[in-house]
Amino acid sequence: MTLDGRHVLVTGAARGLGAVLARVLADAGARLVLADIAEEEGRAVAADVGGHFLPVDLADPASIDALGQAVAAHTGGVLHGLVNNGAIATNVGGKTFEEIEIETWDRVMGVNVRGTWLMVRAMAPLLRASGSGRIVNVASDTAIWGAPKLLSYVASKGAVISMTRSLARELGPDSVGVTAIAPGILTTPSTDYVPEARHRHYADGRAVPGPHAPEEVADTVAFLLGGGALSLTGQVLPVNKGFVFG
């Protein structure tokens, strides 16, 4: 797989899967723009992979609009790939649907759903200008199998899956492909908060038993950002080593 010369923006790139994505996509030749609210960590990742860092707050529409302008200035008005990886995933589980605070629900939806929509809106002109734009939305297999006591996150990722399908139809005439991946729990520092029992549940339940490294997911994303993936537009790929099937 090669992404030589293709400008790719990755949100949520400061840690976890996002940082791994940055390394794998850089190795594939992508010209990376990395965005995150965690500036210090994000700049460190960008320095490691030779990318360009820009700050963004996915909860703030003005910040997303400013990112769009900054990306356009940096890339010359063209963007070949957008990976919507930024999301709230930690400290939102462990409560029943009756116990979730409205503030938590609104915060998760504001970042994971509205933030994804606004990122696509801001970057769509740049993706269209490339003539071969690709969007990869990072969802979650929790939205496929229905993880309990995680409703705000599960609902937000279900919305991302639905948006992927509608966006594929709206952007398809401009040769912009839109896909979603639905990984399970990965072995990264960002999932240290997940109870060990949940990790074991995933490891034992996969068709290929054992842990799932983020590099394996990143390889799939690299393929989806390439020219040969347009025929997969609108599809949701459960990239989880067979924990659930699509």
State the pLDDT at residue 189.
Answer: 67
Are the beta carbons of 49 and 55 closer than 8 angstroms? no
Task: Please give the class, per CATH, of domain 7-237.
Answer: alpha beta
Q: What percent of the chain has pLDDT over 90?
A: 80
Backbone torsion region of residue 6, taken as left when φ is above 0, otherwise alpha when ψ lies between -120 and 50, otherwise beta: beta
What does the pLDDT look like over 161-215, one tens digit per residue?
A: 999 999 999 999 999 999 999 998 777 766 666 677 777 878 888 888 877 789 9
Q: pLDDT at residue 17 above 80? A: yes
Strand partners, 177: 134
Question: Residues with catalytic annotation?
Answer: 153
The number of C-alpha atoms within 13 Å of 5 and in the hemisphere containing its C-beta is 3
Strands 52-55 and 177-181: unpaired
In angstroms, the CA 163 to CA 208 distance is: 29
Compute CA distances 190 → 33, 82, 89, 187, whole Å.
Answer: 21, 22, 9, 8
In angstroms, the CA 5 to CA 134 distance is: 14
State the pLDDT at residue 52.
Answer: 98
What does the pLDDT look like over 30-80, one tens digit per residue?
A: 999 999 999 999 999 999 999 999 999 999 999 999 999 999 999 999 999
Question: What number of other Cβ atoms are within 10 A of residue 235's Cβ?
Answer: 17
The whole-model pTM stands at 0.94
Compute CA distances 240 → 30, 63, 86, 194, whole Å.
Answer: 24, 32, 19, 16
- 61-85 burial code (b ≥16 CB/10 A, e <16): eebbebbbebbbeebeebbbbbbbb
What does the pLDDT look like over 83-123, one tens digit per residue?
A: 999 999 888 889 999 999 999 999 999 999 999 999 999 99
